[in-house]
Amino acid sequence: MAPVYFLLHVPKTAGKSIQHHLIARCAPGVFWRPRGASDLSLALGRPYRSEDMPPPDRLGAVAGHFLGRSLEHYFPGRDIRRVVLLRDPVGLQVSLYNFRMIRALARGRGTYSFDLHLAALPRDFVTHYLLSRWLEISWPRLFAMPDTRKYALVNDALRQFWFVGAYTECDRVMAAIADDLGVPPVAPRVNRTAVLRDKVGWRALTADDLTAPQRRAIEAQHPIDLAVWRSWRGAGFNPAAVTPAPLPPARAGFRAHEIARPAYEITRLARRRWG
């Protein structure tokens, strides 16, 4: 029986290039991108909607931001090959900020500072993304969970993936899965953000534009993400062989930040709506 690929797309890790290639070149019913559930369902640990899923026995790849591992029960007896690409916290946050500002301008909305962008996001953005979406852990449970447990859960999950690597390895992934999906092995780059950037006149922030305190702040706010990146970026096709780096001593702040974060989100919303 043919394998089925689960391509979990962490934001700003080149997943769009793979997905658009599969949408354009896969035979009907071979590729599916689940839609996201409501914000409440996501907070309670149910990230996707499955009512529009094609017949599972025909599917060869499932991809997107809204993949939970409970989807695997639709594929009994299939070899499930899980794929995820990662990115360093500084590069990811800079890219995510540019994307959100360009999208806001394209929609006629206002922008806000990079510091507000950081303040309005959860600490350890990628870690909580993996825990809440892939592992389908509710936000109340994550709020109470210690960092060491979060890191252990993410490491245990990544060991069960078929491929884990840096976002720059998009071509390597595509070449490995192309034959099974009946598509060309090279995915054309999709960078709609760059096209929109030129239209709206946004001067993109770069990592070199950040001050030393901003860089330190990102690493201090995302210590688990940094440990995950350093441990797993070179795993490739052998994640089971990875020995994760020790997590730095825990720093207080996650719960306090989550309690304060709604105020930053409201400020962000106001800046977006009224500039």
Task: State pLDDT tens for residues 143-170.
Answer: 999 999 999 999 999 999 999 999 999 9
C-alpha dihedral (52, 58, 64, 65), degrees to nearest 10: 60
Work out the number of other CB atoms within 10 angstroms of the CB of residue 229: 20
Q: Which residue has the tokens 């507000």?
A: 116
Instruction: Please give the residue range of the domain that contains residue 169.
Output: 4-274
Q: Is the model more confident about 77 or about 274? A: 77
Is the pLDDT at 188 greater than 90, yes or no? no
pLDDT tens digit string along 226-260?
Answer: 999 999 999 999 999 999 999 988 666 788 899 99
Is the pLDDT at 212 greater than 80, yes or no? yes
Which pTM was predicted? 0.93
Determine the pLDDT at residue 210.
95
Determine the pLDDT at residue 187.
84
Which CATH number covers residue 30?
3.40.50
**The total number of structural domains that make up the chain:** 1
Q: Are 165 and 234 in contact (CB under 8 A)?
A: yes
Q: 43 pLDDT band (50/70/90 cuts)?
A: confident
Is the pLDDT at 193 greater than 70, yes or no? no
Q: Which residue has the tokens 């096209």?
A: 195
What's the chain's average pLDDT? 93
Determine the pLDDT at residue 127.
97
Work out the number of other CB atoms within 10 angstroms of the CB of residue 172: 14
Q: What is each CA distance from 128 to 120, 133, 166, in whole angstroms?
A: 14, 8, 18
Largest Cα span, the chain:
55
Distance CA(15)–CA(191), nearest Å, equals 11
Determine the pLDDT at residue 115.
94
Q: 194 pLDDT band (50/70/90 cuts)?
A: low
Element (H, E) at 80: strand 80-86
Least confident span in 19-33, 110-124, 195-209:
195-209
Q: Are 124 and 225 in contact (CB under 8 A)?
A: yes
Q: 190 pLDDT band (50/70/90 cuts)?
A: low
Q: Are 271 and 116 in contact (CB under 8 A)?
A: yes
Q: 53 pLDDT band (50/70/90 cuts)?
A: very high
Determine the pLDDT at residue 60.
98
